[in-house]
Amino acid sequence: MEFVMFFATAAIALIGALAMVLSPNAVHSALFLLLNFAAISVLFLLLRSPFLFAIQLTVYAGAIMVLFLFVVMLLGAERADATQDRLAWQRPLALGLALVLLIEAVFISVTTIPQTPAVASPEAEAFAAPANLGSVLLTTYVLPLQITGIILLVAIVGVVVLNQRARLRHSLELEQK
Amino acid sequence: MVPTDYYVLLSAALFTIGVLGVLLRRNAIVLFMSVELMLNAANLALVAFAYRHANIDGQVLVFFVISVAAAEVAVGLALLVTIFRTRSTTDVDEVSTLRG
């Protein structure tokens, strides 16, 4: 049963990712990426991580993708890429390099990861309960948690400053005219 | 139980698709989405290994990756909006003033 779930979700994740890269319309890309995020959150649930499942859905699929869709629609950038590509020779090279990267990653993971036991250890079933994760976050990892908070604050201030400066320049240009 | 190898192979495939997106596409917003895809692929591998070893540290790392990614997306999209205001384009080939 778990295998069926895994393969179905993995197929959805791969299809979502491929369609995201290949779709010419940026709005479609964002929606396919949303599908991929949802599939990955189901995989987190299969890996017995309910807290990360919820975080993935609310932060990634909720907040981040809404931000992406807002910006795509605000800029009207949903049309296809310009037809003439200045670096056309990059495309076949990129495909080849990506293939090499994939072969490398598959080779390394096949050769270095030892075979997993067929049965999960009993402690693996409940180790990632939200209560455990919360207590680790607030004891061992309390300093990184605080730093993350500061990073988020700096990001908020940075976004406000970026928009403020753009608006200032815009009003200056209007005055000069 | 699904072997960890399968999750790692899926993660490698997703990461490669993200790299392909960054290399092939010219729309800056789609480039950003591909970066998000790569971050997610790395998260998947981290959670798979955390489950395999019944070790919670990998999960904590994924939590931090997600929150830093949220900050990164906010700043990146603000930059994109600012670039769009001055250049009226999101094509990365057009924004090459810093090219040597």
In DSSP notation, A17-66 reads HHHHHH-SSHHHHHHHHHHHHHHHHHHHHHTT-HHHHHHIIIIIIIIIHH
- Cβ-Cβ contacts under 8 Å between A and B: the total is 228
- Domain membership of residue A22 (yes or no) is yes
Look at residue A137 and tell me if it is in a domain: no
Contact A167, B78 (CB under 8 A): no
pLDDT at residue A42 in the model? 94
> Is the minimum CB–CB distance between B17 and chain A shorter than 8 Å?
yes
> What would the pLDDT profile of B43-95 be if each residue is shown by its tens digit?
999 999 888 888 888 899 999 999 999 999 999 999 888 888 887 777 887 77
Q: For position A1, what pLDDT does the model report?
A: 81
Residue of B36, B69, B79 lying closest to A33 (CB–CB): B36
Q: What is the pLDDT of residue A155?
A: 94
Lowest model confidence (mean pLDDT) among A125-139, B4-18, B23-37, B63-77:
A125-139
Q: Report the CATH number at residue A39.
A: 1.20.120.1200
pLDDT of residue A115: 64
Tell me the domain boundaries of chain B: 28-89
Give the minimum alpha-carbon distance from B98 to chain A in angstroms, rounded to a whole number. 16
Is the Cα torsion angle A54, A55, A60, A62 positive or negative in sign? Answer: positive
Contact A43 B44 (CB under 8 A): yes
Distance from the Cα of B58 to chain A's closest Cα (Å) equals 10
- The owner of tokens 């991929």 is A36
Of A33, A75, A106, the CB nearest to B33: A33
User: Is residue A31 domain-resident?
Assistant: yes
**Structure tokens that stand for B70 in this block:** 């949220």
Model pLDDT, residue A77: 64
- pLDDT averages per 10-residue partition of chain A, 177 residues: 90 94 89 94 91 92 90 76 66 88 87 65 73 90 94 93 77 75
Separation between Cα atoms, residue B45 and residue B42, nearest integer Å: 5
Q: Of B26, B40, B74, which has the smallest distance from its Cβ to A82's Cβ?
A: B26
Interface residue A157 vs chain B (CB under 8 A): no
In 3D, which of B99, B65, B62, B76 has the Cα closest to residue B29? B76
User: What integer pLDDT is reported at residue A55 of this predicted model?
Assistant: 92
Residue B49, C-beta contacts closer than 8 angstroms, at least 6 positions apart: B4, B8, B55, B58
Contact assignment for B59 to A49 by CB distance below 8 Å: yes
Length of chain A in terms of residues written: 177
**What pLDDT shows up at residue A83?**
54
Could you tell me the residue range of the domain that residue A19 belongs to? 1-79
Minimal C-alpha gap between A176 and chain B (Å): 16
CB B95 within 8 A of CB B82: no
How far is the C-alpha of A39 from the C-alpha of B61, rounded, in Å?
Answer: 20
Residue A95 domain flag: no
Using CA atoms, how far residue A142 sits from A133, A145, B98, in Å, is 12, 5, 40
Let me know if residue A115 belongs to a domain. Answer: no
Determine the pLDDT at residue A82: 57
Answer whether residue A85 is part of any domain: no
Beta-carbon separation of A133 and B21 below 8 A: no
By the CB < 8 Å criterion, does A173 face chain B? Answer: no
What's B42's DSSP letter? H
The answer to whether residue A23 sits within a structural domain is: yes
From the list A10, A118, A163, the residue facing B1 with the nearest CB is A118
Q: What is the ipTM of this complex?
A: 0.91
Residues 71-130 of A with CB under 8 A from B: 71-72, 74-75, 77, 81-82, 85-87, 90-91, 94-95, 97-98, 101-102, 105-106, 109-110, 113, 115-121, 123-124, 127-128
| Domain count for chain A | 1
**In the predicted structure, residue B27 carries a pLDDT above the cut 90:** no
A97 by Cβ neighbours in 10 Å (0-12 / 13-18 / 19+) ranks as: middle
- pLDDT score of B47: 92
